[in-house]
């Protein structure tokens, strides 16, 4: 279980690196994102798809850009992360 959680956290960290690069340099394409983040192109594509599904970025003909309302979405994500941390701490106390 811990291994699965670790892999998921690593994927989320990668997604956040990609998001940060989009915020700083958007519009930005896959090749440049891969170069700037040292993430292979196939993983950049996957991260972009997940970030788009989460409403954090938008595709354009010139590359990915931050989505409208990004600040609110980030606030919601942070609230969700705080909730998850609390739940994990509760689990730790059980065992």
Task: In whole angstroms, give the CA distance from residue 20 to residue 25.
Answer: 8
User: And the tokens for 73?
Assistant: 């979405």
Report pLDDT for 88: 86
pTM: 0.85
Statement: residue 29 has pLDDT above 90: yes
94 pLDDT higher than 90: no
Distance CA 32, CA 29 (A): 6
pLDDT at 12: 92
Has residue 42 got a pLDDT over 80?
yes
- For the chain, the average pLDDT equals 93
Looking at residue 92, what is its pLDDT? 83
First-last CA distance in the chain: 14
CA-CA distance, 66 to 83, in Å (whole number)? Answer: 25
């Amino acid at each position: 279980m811990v291994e699965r959680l670790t892999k998921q956290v690593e994927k989320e960290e990668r997604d956040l690196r990609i998001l940060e690069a989009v915020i700083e340099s958007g519009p930005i394409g896959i090749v440049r994102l891969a170069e700037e983040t040292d993430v292979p192109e196939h993983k950049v594509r996957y991260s972009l798809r997940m970030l788009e599904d989460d409403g954090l970025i938008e595709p354009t003909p010139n590359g990915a850009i931050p989505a409208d309302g990004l600040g609110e979405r980030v606030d919601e994500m942070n609230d969700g992360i705080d909730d998850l941390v609390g739940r994990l701490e509760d689990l730790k106390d059980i065992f």
